[in-house]
Amino acid sequence: MGNLAEKGKGLLTLRAVRDATDPKQAHRLIEDALPSVIASIMEPAELERMHQRLKQLPEPPERARLGKDDWLGSIGVFLLVFLSTFPVVIPFIFMRHAGPALRVSNAIAIVMLFLAGYAFGRMTGRHPWLVGVSRHYRPE
C-alpha cells in the first residue's frame, strides 16, 4: 500500500509540474518533491532544467500500478509474518485446553526469540549466546 501511495503521489506531482503555467510554481512543486537537504542547494537554473526535462518525458500512465518487485515484496512480507507467527499458533490447534496451549505457545515464542537473537549475534560478530539470551542487547 505504501508503494502504491508513493507511486500515486509521484504521478500527481509529475502531472502538476508538467501542467504548471508559472515556472515558479513548477519549481516549488519540484522542491517539495525533493528531500529537503537537496532542495536547499538547488539553484533556480537547475530547477528550470529539471522542469523542462520533466515536460519532455513521455505521457505518464493514467494511474499508479504495482510492479513485479512490489508484488514479490508483498508476498515476502506475508510469508515472513505467517511463518513467524504460525509456530506460536500450533499448540492452540492441537491442544484441547487453552491454558496448557498458552504455556507451550509461550515456550515456542521464547525459543524463536532466542534463535533470532542468536542468529543476529552471529551476523553482527557479537557473542551469539549473549545476544540470544539478553532482553535488551546494547552494543558497545
Same domain, 127 and 92: yes
pLDDT band at 126 (very low <50, low <70, confident <90, very high): confident
Looking at residue 49, its pLDDT comes to 95
| Residue 15 domain-assigned (yes or no) | yes
| Residue 80 domain-assigned (yes or no) | yes
Q: Report how many domains make up the chain.
A: 2
Same domain, 35 and 79: no
Averaged pLDDT for residues 15-21: 91
Domain holding 105, by residue range, is 68-133
pLDDT band at 138 (very low <50, low <70, confident <90, very high): low
pTM beyond 0.75, yes or no: no
139 has pLDDT over 60: no
Looking at residue 85, its pLDDT comes to 93
- How far apart are the C-alpha atoms of 26 and 14, rounded to whole Å? 10
pLDDT, averaged across the chain? 91
Same domain, 81 and 127: yes
94 has pLDDT over 60: yes
Same domain, 29 and 85: no
| Residue 139 domain-assigned (yes or no) | no
Same domain, 80 and 105: yes
| Residue 112 domain-assigned (yes or no) | yes
- How far apart are the C-alpha atoms of 24 and 134, rounded to whole Å? 56
| Residue 62 domain-assigned (yes or no) | no
Environment class of 14 (CB within 10 Å of its CB; exposed 0-12, middle 13-18, buried 19+): middle
| Residue 61 domain-assigned (yes or no) | no
